[in-house]
Amino acid sequence: MISGSLTALVTPFKDGKVDAAAYQAFVDWQIRSGTNGLVPCGTTGEASTLTRKEHVQVVDLCVQAAGGRVPVIAGIGSNNTRTAVETALAVQKSGVDAVLAVAPYYNKPGQEGLFQHFQAVAQAIDIDIILYNIPGRSIVDISLETMGRLAQIPNIIGLKDATSDLSRVSDYKAICGGDFIQLSGDDPTALAHWAHGGTGCISVASNIAPAQCAKLHKLCAGGKFAEALVLHEKLDRLFKDLFLDASPAPTKYALSLMDKMQPDVRLPITSCRQSTKDAVVAAMKMAGVEL
């Protein structure tokens, strides 16, 4: 089952290209540190600035480095249904376990358009799909009714919810069923999301603190919420300060301090301000991350 701490992987760049060696070493370190699953080519992976060739390359690199040790859920998001289908077919050939399909952004489709978009992806591939609802970026919000319809499609198995609306967890469980996987898309709400009935988080902070995030989710899975709260409080500043500037610039800066990769990002994302760098270093120390 897809659950626990799943890292929304950054994509390392060097001299304007994907840094394949750094990426595969990073994936291996993530798994050895306890990460329960990997999500390449999402928002944090700067997928919107990758070429189609680079997108497939990054997924291939992830699958190869993971070696079947943890699930790989590849981002295939697009506001063009045909492109989303083509990308899903391409990463299926790479050997991923599932795909992460975001609500189409910019076009502002209605609920029927959303349903048909995801249905088209589901019908095109043989692997599982995790839906991704993030109205703050996509503008559109997948309604409860539409989510219930989508949950009837056999290979749509769950949801990454980045609305921060914890009341939705119970609503989704009621309409989609208890087996429908519910993952938080926001580190700050992950603990509470578990308490409401969720099963994990697709995390940005786990890029930096994979062992700590994996421990947090293991405690939640075991119902040890008091212990999880203590760890959450140590991680809280990291959860939040990684977004003081446009993501993933702060995360890549932190990883450069850890000698995992260069801090390079692609426009329109720019490097961190000094104030953000200072805050991130302080948050890393609070979280117990070795510099």
* Position 35 pLDDT exceeds 90: yes
Domain ranges of the chain: 4-222
Percent of the chain at pLDDT > 70 equals: 100
Predicted local distance difference test score (pLDDT) of residue 216: 98
Determine if residue 125 is left, alpha or beta; phi over 0 gives left, psi from -120 to 50 gives alpha, anything else beta: beta
Give me the helices (H) in 33-80, please: 52-66
Predicted local distance difference test score (pLDDT) of residue 39: 98
Predicted local distance difference test score (pLDDT) of residue 231: 98
Contact in structure between 172 and 159 (CB atoms under 8 Å): yes
Query: Residue 275's pLDDT band (boundaries 50, 70, 90)?
Result: very high
Q: Mean per-residue pLDDT for 188-206?
A: 97
Q: Mean per-residue pLDDT for 226-231?
A: 98
Report the catalytic residues.
132, 160
Contact in structure between 203 and 160 (CB atoms under 8 Å): no
In CATH terms, the fold of domain 4-222 is TIM Barrel (3.20.20)
Q: Mean per-residue pLDDT for 198-205?
A: 98
Which of 177, 181, 185 shows the shortest CA–CA distance to 149? 177
- Over residues 203-219, the pLDDT tens digits come to 999 999 999 999 999 99
The pair of three-digit structure tokens given for residue 108, joined into one six-digit string: 């502002």
**Rounded to a whole number, what is the distance in angstroms from the first to the last CA of the chain?**
33
Residues with Cβ within 8 Å of 186's Cβ and at least 6 positions away in sequence, in order, are 162, 164, 201
Which of 36, 30, 50, 35 shows the shortest CA–CA distance to 3? 36
Lowest-confidence range among 136-140, 156-160, 229-233?
136-140
Predicted local distance difference test score (pLDDT) of residue 291: 86
- Over residues 173-186, the pLDDT tens digits come to 999 999 999 999 99
- Other CB atoms within a 10 A radius of the CB of residue 17 amount to 11
Which of 109, 24, 91 shows the shortest CA–CA distance to 52? 91
Crossing angle (nearest 10°) for helices 81-94 and 111-124:
30
Predicted local distance difference test score (pLDDT) of residue 1: 79
Contact in structure between 185 and 202 (CB atoms under 8 Å): yes
The answer to pTM > 0.95 is yes
CA distance 265 to 209: 20
